[in-house]
Amino acid sequence: MNRISGLEKSQAPWHLRWFYSTMRKMFGKDLTPVKMQMRVPGLVWGSIAMEAGLGKKRRSTESVATKST
């Protein structure tokens, strides 16, 4: 049992509610770790920025690898 309960969609800040529907589309359910992260909105936005940056880096290294072959 978790010591901290996660936020439900109705309890989450308005600027993070879209994330619940996106998560449900991707995974088919609401994931508990993400619901706990919703308690700290800066952590959620930081995770999104990190994933976007890693995706951008991955795309740029793939294009370099394709050009060199």
Q: What are phi and psi of 29, to 5 degrees?
A: -160, 170
pLDDT at res. 68: 56
As a residue count, the chain comes to 69
* pLDDT grade for 4, boundaries at 50, 70 and 90: confident
Single-letter amino acid code for the residue at 52:
A
Find where tokens 């740029």 sit.
60
> Any idea where the domains of the chain sit in the sequence?
14-68
* 9-67 pLDDT, tens digit each: 888 888 888 888 888 898 898 888 888 888 888 888 898 889 888 888 776 666 666 66
Q: With 60 as the cut, is the pLDDT of residue 69 above it?
A: no
The overall pTM is greater than 0.75: no
